[in-house]
Amino acid sequence: MAAGRKVMSNSSGVAAALVVALLLVAAASGAAGARVCNVDTNSLVSNCRSYCTVGSTEASPSGACCAAVRGGDFHCLCKYKSVLPKDIDGNRAMQIPGKCGYGAVNC
| In the chain, where the domains are located | 2-100
pLDDT the model gives residue 17: 61
- Calpha distance 35→55 (Å, rounded): 28
The answer to pTM > 0.85 is: no
- Calpha distance 94→78 (Å, rounded): 12
pLDDT the model gives residue 29: 53
pLDDT the model gives residue 81: 63
DSSP secondary structure letters along 34-96: -EETTEEHHHHHHHHHHHHBTT---SS--HHHHHHHTT--HHHHGGGGGG--TTB-HHHHTTH
pLDDT along the chain (107 residues), means of 10: 45 60 58 74 87 93 92 73 77 78 66
pLDDT the model gives residue 7: 42
